[in-house]
A = this chain, B = another copy of it.
Amino acid sequence: MIVKSSEKLKKLGTEIFTALGASRDRSSFVASTLVESSLTGHDSHGVVYFVRYSDRIRKGFIDVNADPVKVKETEASALIDGRWGFGQITAMRSVELAVEKARRSVVGAVGAFRCNHIGRLGYYTSWIAKQGFIGMMFANVGHPSVSVYHGLGRVFGTNPFSASVPVKDSDPFLLDYATSVVAEGKVSIARSKHEKIPENWIRDKFGNKTDDPNAMLEGGWLLPFGEHKGYCLQLLVELLGGILTGSRSGLDPENEPPSPNGVFSIAIDPGGFRDRSEFASETRTILKKVRCTPNEPGARILVPGDPEWETREERLRCGIPIPEDSWQQIVQLSRELGIDPEYYS
């Protein structure tokens, strides 16, 4: 593992995307969302994307200076065309709009299509919560890797769902996960460490149980989490994120651009229902009580968001660990672009 500071990584990412033609502002924002994923422990959505996005920019899938535009709007809702710019820019515009609308109408709903990969959903929903609103986001991934319940073969993407709730004087409650048992990145990590995986993560190409992470590369697929219950959520995300916004479904035979997202966001003002401060403070009390529930021997009770915010604290202090080969890819990319990666180390 190489360890790098988040500040330096943000600067390096900014230089990379700027060198590829994006404005400095856009580059800096996209880089900071990726570093934020690494900071919160979601390495699969973190700085490894410096390289993947660069590849997509070079292939013409990401139009680095495209700005999202509203194509439909009411007091409480909007539909946004992301115009194949950075997914992050469109997702951020979506939640800003959702909050603006919730500020006026208590609730705001915003859909977005023609988004590239938007990264980690929790970035946007926790931003909503930090404005004092409740946030939800459903994002379909038009690149299939997960089967349906009782099905064989890849049907939908990892279709993540996220929700975040403001907590008084504290980091927000943050639910943020793929509707597959695990994100695809966890299988890759096990593969690179030559480790076995639990048998409920994936199936091989014949539909057999397997603990071999290589099976995923050889035509295998991820399973939806929580049997039929997670599967229902996987499908709901497809309908809201994908179909409602007019985005590409996992079922579509198209495969370019490589990882389009359809994004549906909701913001809710707690003040429409009760005193905002009381709500955030009662939420804090509930979460504290949950953390103090008697625990199974050897296990710790966390509430949604705890792992992220704790990892963030630690990585801000001690730096972000990056696997050697991922760092080498970033170094190589930087050199190709005439950027000295050592300067950011």
Contacts and interface: CB of A to CB of B under 8 A. Distances in A.
Interface of A: 72, 74-77, 79, 105-109, 111, 134, 147-153, 155, 163, 165, 173, 175, 177, 207, 225-227, 229-233, 235-236, 238-240, 243-246, 249, 251, 266, 268, 270, 272-274, 279, 282-283, 286-287, 289-290, 293-296, 299-304
Contacts of A286: 238-239, 243, 249, 251
Nearest to A297: B207
Taken together, the copies of this chain in the complex come to 2
Contacts of A233: 175, 233
Contacts of A163: 236
A200 to B, nearest CB: 10
Given A77-B107, A134-B240, A150-B296, 18 more contacts: A74-B105, A74-B106, A74-B272, A76-B105, A76-B106, A107-B108, A149-B301, A150-B302, A155-B290, A175-B233, A175-B236, A207-B296, A233-B233, A235-B287, A243-B279, A244-B279, A246-B274, A249-B286
Given A177-B229, A238-B286, A266-B107, A72 B273 contact: yes
Contacts of A107: 76-77, 105, 107-109, 266
A240 B153 CA distance: 36
A174 to B, nearest CB: 9
Contact of A75 (B105, B273, B294, B302): B105
29 contacts: A75-B105, A76-B107, A77-B107, A77-B273, A105-B107, A107-B109, A109-B268, A109-B272, A111-B273, A148-B301, A149-B301, A150-B296, A150-B300, A150-B302, A152-B293, A153-B293, A165-B236, A177-B229, A225-B227, A225-B229, A226-B229, A229-B230, A232-B304, A233-B233, A244-B268, A244-B270, A245-B273, A246-B274, A251-B286
A78 to B, nearest CB: 8
A250 to B, nearest CB: 9
Given A107-B109, A165-B236, A279-B243, A272 B153 contact: no
Contacts of A75: 75-76, 105
B232 A177 contact: yes
A286 to B, nearest CB: 6
A176 B165 CA distance: 23
B226 A290 contact: no
Nearest to A178: B229
A147 B75 CA distance: 41
